[in-house]
Structure formats: C-alpha cells, structure tokens
Structure 1
Amino acid sequence: TSPAVQEAVSRAQQLADTDTPVLIEGEHGTGRGFLARILHYQSSRAGGLFVPVACGGLQEELLESELFGYARGAFQQALLPRSGKAELADRGTLYLADIDGTGLPTQEKILRLLTEKTVTPVGGSRDIEIDVRLVASAAASLEEAAGGGSFLPALRDALLPGRIHLPPLRERIEDIPLLLHHYLFEGNRMRKKPLRGFSDAAIAALTGYPWQGNVRELVEVVSYIAGKKRQGSVVDAADLPAEIWYGRSRPAPAGEPPSKPIPDIREAIQDLDRQMLRQALALSDGDPERAAALLNLDVAVLEKLMRETGIEWKSGPS
C-alpha cells in the first residue's frame, strides 16, 4: 500500500475513538465514504447509526430540511413533522459528503450543531439536543473557499484539526493491483466459477491508465470486464475497454507488477464488513431479511458474508 494511504488510515485510526470533527479531503471517487465508515465502525459510536448525506447539488432549502428536519406547516406539503438526518445520527456519526457544496446559511447551522449540539427544524421553534460525531468530506480546499467568501471561516477552523488527505489514484499507482484484485474478488462472490485474476499485461495496462474517476472508476471498469468474461478465466489485456488504451497518459511500469496481497488492508476490509453486518443484525433484532434490506443485499449474499466473516447470529452477535 502506498505511504499516502498508510498515513491516511493511520490518521483515521488515531481519530476514530475521539469526538474530534473530521474533514476528509480528496477528489470524488478516492474512497472518502469508505474511510468515513472506518472512522465510525472503529469508534465507540459503532453501536449508533452511520448516516451519510450527499450535500453537493442539493438546493439549500431541500438540504436544510434533509439535515435538520421540519416542523408541521413549515411549507405547504409539510402536513406532518419530520426528523432530519442529524437527529437520526444521534449517538452515531453524521457524514456530510461534499460539505464544500453547502451554502453559508446551512454552514451556520452545521457550526451550531458542532458547538452547541442542538438543531432547530425548518419552520420550528424548539431546539433539539443531539449528540453526534461529524465527519465531512470536500473535494475543494476549504481554506481557499473561506478566503473567497463561500465557506464559513469558523466552520473551516472547526474541521481542520481533524483533517485527513486522500490522494487521487493516479498519485498512488502502487495501490492499483491490490484494488483490482480486491474488487474482482468482491464480484467473485456472486459467481459459481470465479475469475482467476489479471494477466501481467492487463495489470500493466490498467496501472498506466490515469484514473480520473479514481477508485469509483476502477470499480466500474472491473465490473464491466467481469460482465464480459467467461467464468473461471483470466482477464487479459485484450479484455480491457478501449478507453484504457486511448486514455493512457504514461508508460506502464517495468518489471513484475506487484500482485501479492497485503494482509493488513484485506483484514481491515473484512473487519469493516463484520462490523456492518453486526450492526444491521442488531438493528433488525437478528432477522436476516430485515438486516439484508438495511444493507441493500439479497438474503443469500448476507448469509454468505456472515459465513465468510465468521458471524453466527442467534440471540446476539458472536
């Protein structure tokens, strides 16, 4: 694993069991949401909910209603009051993706949530006390945004002490082979005859691609390749989509590509799976169908994951 990712994971582990607000800086698709989940599931708040909110692109009024809820009669369609995502995350973690896409009024309410631990629903007059840990992500520099007047300096200052930087995939090409094999393995769970891996030529071509969409794009490419390949075969260079060849921006690295699995990362991924499964089972009173619905999985996939992670669920987690 690249030193930059090792540093990011180490920093996340240091911050996990504190209530320090965390800012994850990085381009879209670099794994910001995954790191946010690691922070939650390795913290003392793992028994509470991890509640993600996509802030980018939402209208200000809609985002405020989503985050803080609304009172009855707050607007024409508000026939009943509704709790916001911040209240849902009480005693858990609220993850605000693309906090740099919020407006100043919403930022002021987020700052109040951090400093006073209270929110007021849209159209309401009663404050609601909330005990929540805030994790946010941003693709843009908050220092520059604050300097340009589009981000609240006080909120920037509250977030910067817990800053973690995730570099783009093109700056950590040594991680690409591991990620390719990991996501191919994830897809293999659904196949009777798993794909056997990537040839050296395929690894070299994929390592030379610039990956502007970062890990998210890599996952899509692996899914595309797996959908075309005959089960039980090896992915070769000829199986790669055309954009891998036309989009290459640098020569492939010479020598044998690094393909040996790195145990600590795999163990961390499996541990995260295990904790998410346990939380879903606890929230669903041990009902596999309800737990599968919470995780957006088929029951058969959930049961397979339970076997792979060593979870035996009867009246409580093992």
Structure 2
Amino acid sequence: MSERPRILVVDDDPSLCRLMEMRLEASGYAPTTCESGERALAELERQPADAVITDLRMEGMDGLALFDAVRERWPALPVIILTAHGSIQDAVEATRRGVHEFLTKPFDPPELLEQLEKALTARGGQTSDTAREAGRRHGLVTRSPRMEEVLERALLVADSDANVLIQGASGSGKEIVARAVHGNSPRSQGPFIPVNCGAIPETLLESELFGHVRGAFTGADRDRAGLFRDADGGTLFLDEIGDMPLQLQVKLLRALQEQVIRPVGGRDPIPINVRVISATHRDLEAARADGSFREDLYFRLAVVTLALPPLAERREDIPLLARHFLAEATRRHGRQVEDLSPEAIEALVQAEWPGNVRQLQNVIEQCVALSTNEILPERLVRQALNQDQEPSIPTLAEAREAFERDYLIRLLKLTEGNVSQAARLAGRNRTEFYRLLGRHHLQVADFKGGTDPNEDN
C-alpha cells in the first residue's frame, strides 16, 4: 500500500489507548483511538479504516456488539478483539461469528502485530512486510499453530537441497506446501514439475519420468526427455509416491543415488540436477512393513518429513480460508461478493470436511457462482455442503486401492482361503500374493472353509 494502513483502536481505558497508539505508530501504522463503540462507529462513518482493534468489555456497546455493527455496515473490515476477561467460550463464539482474532490482555505486542498483518493480508491490504511474508507462503493461508509449525519447518528445509516427504490426507494442501519449499529455495528460478504417480498407468509412468528413445516401444515415434529432465535445475514433485510400482521404485532409487537417469530403451546415462519433493496420503511406515514400498527408497525420500493436519483439526483456519477462496472466486467469476454472513461462517466451522481444504474451496466456488447478494448467506453454504460431491468421488489411486482389496477378498472367498489357488488365478506368485494381502491387512484364516494341511497360513 502506498499509505500507512489505518487502524481504529477502541478501548474505554485512555492509558491503554495511548499505549496501543504508540506501538502501532512505531510499527508503521496510522492509528486512531476511540473510547466507546458508539464513537468508533461514528469515526468509521467519517473516515474508513483498514482494521479495528477493540476491547471486549466496555460500558454501553461492548466489543461483540461493535463487531456485529461493523460486520453489518462494513462486512470486509477485519476486527481483532482484546479482553482481560476472556474465556474459551468467548473465543469460540467470536471466531464463529467472523471475528479475525480473539486475544487476552495483557496482550503480547508481537502476537498482536502478527495478527494485524494477517488481517490486512486476508483483506487484501498488505504492507510491504506482509506482502513479502505472503510471497514466502506461496498461497498457504493459515493461523493454525500446527500449520505454522509445518510452514516453519518447510521454510527451514527450503534453503537446503534435502529431499522432502509431505504426508497428509487428500485435499489437505500437500502441493501448496511443496510449492512453498520450492519457491523459497535456491532453485526457485528453476521449474517446478508436479506429477501424480497414482494417476498415470504403470506402463507409462516410467516413460513419463525418465523419458524414452525413439523405437523403445510401440508408439514411441520420437525421443521424449521425461519429467526428470524437464525439472532440471528445479524441483520434481512426486505426488502419491506411495502408489509407485515396486519395479519403478528401484529405478527411482538408482536415479536419486547416482544423480543420473536412463531413458526407456536408452543405453547412455544422462546426468540430472533435480530436487525431489514427494507426497502421499498412504501410511508409508505400514507400506515398508508389508514390503509394498522399499525401505531404502523411503529413507532417501524422507530426509525431512512434513505432516499436514486435516482441516477438521485446524478449524480456526476455516473462516480465513473461506474468505481467501471467496476473494479468488469473485475475481474469477467477476462477482461482487464482499463476505460471508456470520451464520454461513458458523455452518462452515461446524462441517465435517472429509475432503479437507479442496472441498472447502469447492463449496465457496459453488456459493459464489450462485450468489445474487454481496454477503453469502447460510442457505447457499448449507446447500453447497449437501450437494458437494467431492468426498464421495475417490481419487484414481483410492479407487484402485478399493478395487484391489475387493478383488482379493473375492478370490479368497472363491478359493476358501487357498493362497496357492488364489495366486494362480490372480497371475501372481505366492510371495507377491502374500505381500498384497499384507498391504490390505487381510488374514487368510478368515476365509478358510476347512483345514488344509498343505496350506501355509
């Protein structure tokens, strides 16, 4: 912003108003103070502000009543509430109603300034420091302490060239974190190449990653460089790495160890200069135990591990994310939607979110597309929550996993737990078949129709 952000401070304690005024001025803001909620509303009518900081308990209009009045007249104006009489119930209620943050007195000045910068960022009015911080986050919007820890680790490891494994449920934002690592690394000027290992057929994945030479297989009418070479000097993001076939895991391990690749059908090794960030929703510890994921590859990929919590475990992020997605959707669709109603925010905070952040984005997108008002109503949010189909439609990797488990169960039922016969029908040897059973936690004894002395349990 070319001008200093204007901050309205509301407190019936004149000495605290003066103290807050000095701290804000020293931090580059332009503060105005008022000693009552009524005077604050009059001041806002006279001169707009970029954010409001108010005490909760005041004579006459208290902080929540002031927030309700501000939300009704200036719905996009962020409000931070301070109180010496705070409680968890007050904080939850304030957050659900759309208050940006609820802090207790005596307040911690760095924490207050941090929340103020976040409020201005969410509104779109960024100071230069805030803009730099937003740039470092690369679209990762959060106020959750758990997510802030993840971001802090991500920014620390970004300076190195260590491989990173990001673990988290589908839709939790793994690619955004990967982009933040890449964007803050010395490789940031190089390419960021994402690939979903679970969405590419096994027969094509090797060629996609390592390339091929002309004539290597039917249809290979010209040379292909492959994604490793496309990412040279930058970062290759291997999403759903847990779905990579064992045979290809061996080739990936060799590429990471030797820093060279061999295209399909090629003879000469090609040097590469690539950082690998991988991600998965699967439990790779269990996959290592059952042999479906190589232990040596796991340790090569997981030099640093980042674990993302699901959205349901960071509900304090829901109002912030919802407004972030609202701003994006209104720009895309050219709609004049300023904010969500307090009731709509409460409906979002209380929802289950099996599809995580991706589902929340989808819900807001639907609401903006159907909205005819400046404020998104609760009715549209609940309708979108009921109609949103993303959680019921699995990813390709999840669908394959479910089909494979169902297929194994049908084989074991058909053969009454005879592994040799079941493996033969599946076209696999007994060792591979047992490995598949272990991967899906299936016990042969559960399918036995009788005792077979020749069958190994």
TM-score bucket (shorter structure): 0.7 to 0.9
Name the CA distance, whole Å, in 2 between partners of 1:96 and 1:43.
17
What does the per-residue CA deviation read over 1:248-285, in whole Å, with 9 as the maximum and x for residues that have no partner? xxxxxxxxxxxxxxxxxxxxxxxxxxxxxxxxxxxxxx
2:276–2:301 contact (8 Å) kept in structure 1? no
Q: Are residues 86 and 201 of structure 1, via their aligned partners in 2, closer, same or farther at CA, if it must alter by over 3 Å?
A: same
Name the CA distance, whole Å, in 1 between partners of 2:188 and 2:387.
44
Counterpart of 1:190 in structure 2 is 332
Q: Secondary structure at the match of 1:38?
A: helix
Residue 187 of structure 1 deviates from its aligned partner by: 1.5
Name the CA distance, whole Å, in 2 between partners of 1:192 and 1:37.
27
Question: Which among 168, 173, 179 is matched to residue 31 of structure 1?
Answer: 173
Q: Does 1:138 align with 2:280?
A: yes
Name the CA distance, whole Å, in 2 between partners of 1:245 and 1:67.
39
Residue 241 of structure 1 deviates from its aligned partner by: 4.0
Counterpart of 2:221 in structure 1 is 79
What amino acid does structure 2 have at the position aligned with 1:242?
Answer: Q
Name the CA distance, whole Å, in 2 between partners of 1:76 and 1:190.
43
Q: Secondary structure at the match of 1:194?
A: coil
Name the CA distance, whole Å, in 1 between partners of 2:335 and 2:223.
51
5+ residue gaps, structure 2, are 1-142, 389-457
Name the CA distance, whole Å, in 2 between partners of 1:7 and 1:80.
47
Residue 4 of structure 1 deviates from its aligned partner by: 1.2
Query: TM-score, with normalisation over the residues of structure 2?
Result: 0.52
Q: Does 1:238 align with 2:379?
A: yes
Structure 1 stretches of 4+ with a deviation exceeding 2 A read 190-194, 241-247
Counterpart of 1:227 in structure 2 is 369
Residue 142 of structure 1 deviates from its aligned partner by: 1.2
Counterpart of 1:4 in structure 2 is 146
Name the CA distance, whole Å, in 2 between partners of 1:58 and 1:82.
16
Residue 245 of structure 1 deviates from its aligned partner by: 6.1
Q: Secondary structure at the match of 2:363?
A: helix
Residue 110 of structure 1 deviates from its aligned partner by: 1.5
Name the CA distance, whole Å, in 2 between partners of 1:245 and 1:223.
14
Counterpart of 1:22 in structure 2 is 164
Name the CA distance, whole Å, in 1 between partners of 2:195 and 2:335.
37
Name the CA distance, whole Å, in 2 between partners of 1:50 and 1:196.
34
Counterpart of 2:291 in structure 1 is 149
Residue 181 of structure 1 deviates from its aligned partner by: 0.2
What amino acid does structure 2 have at the position aligned with 1:229?
Answer: S
Q: Does 1:170 align with 2:170?
A: no
2:363–2:384 contact (8 Å) kept in structure 1? no
Query: TM-score, with normalisation over the residues of structure 1?
Result: 0.75
Give the number of the structure whose alpha-carbon radius of gyration is greater: 2
Name the CA distance, whole Å, in 1 between partners of 2:313 and 2:351.
11
Counterpart of 2:345 in structure 1 is 203
Number of residue pairs the alignment of both structures matches: 246
Q: Are residues 33 and 246 of structure 1, via their aligned partners in 2, closer, same or farther at CA, if it must alter by over 3 Å?
A: closer
Name the CA distance, whole Å, in 2 between partners of 1:172 and 1:236.
23
Residue 185 of structure 1 deviates from its aligned partner by: 0.6
Q: Secondary structure at the match of 1:73?
A: coil
Question: Which among 69, 74, 85 is matched to residue 211 of structure 2?
Answer: 69
Name the CA distance, whole Å, in 2 between partners of 1:138 and 1:245.
28
Name the CA distance, whole Å, in 1 between partners of 2:203 and 2:216.
11
What amino acid does structure 2 have at the position aligned with 1:154?
Answer: D
Counterpart of 1:274 in structure 2 is none
What amino acid does structure 2 have at the position aligned with 1:61?
Answer: T
1:205–1:244 contact (8 Å) kept in structure 2? no
Name the CA distance, whole Å, in 2 between partners of 1:169 and 1:207.
10
Q: Secondary structure at the match of 1:76?
A: coil
Identical residues among aligned pairs (%): 40
Name the CA distance, whole Å, in 2 between partners of 1:73 and 1:193.
52
Q: Secondary structure at the match of 1:240?
A: helix
2:367–2:384 contact (8 Å) kept in structure 1? no
1:57–1:101 contact (8 Å) kept in structure 2? no
2:237–2:278 contact (8 Å) kept in structure 1? yes
Q: Secondary structure at the match of 1:183?
A: helix
User: Which piece of structure 1 moves more, 33-42 or 51-60?
Assistant: 51-60
Residue 191 of structure 1 deviates from its aligned partner by: 5.1
What amino acid does structure 1 have at the position aligned with 2:282?
Answer: A
Residue 192 of structure 1 deviates from its aligned partner by: 4.8
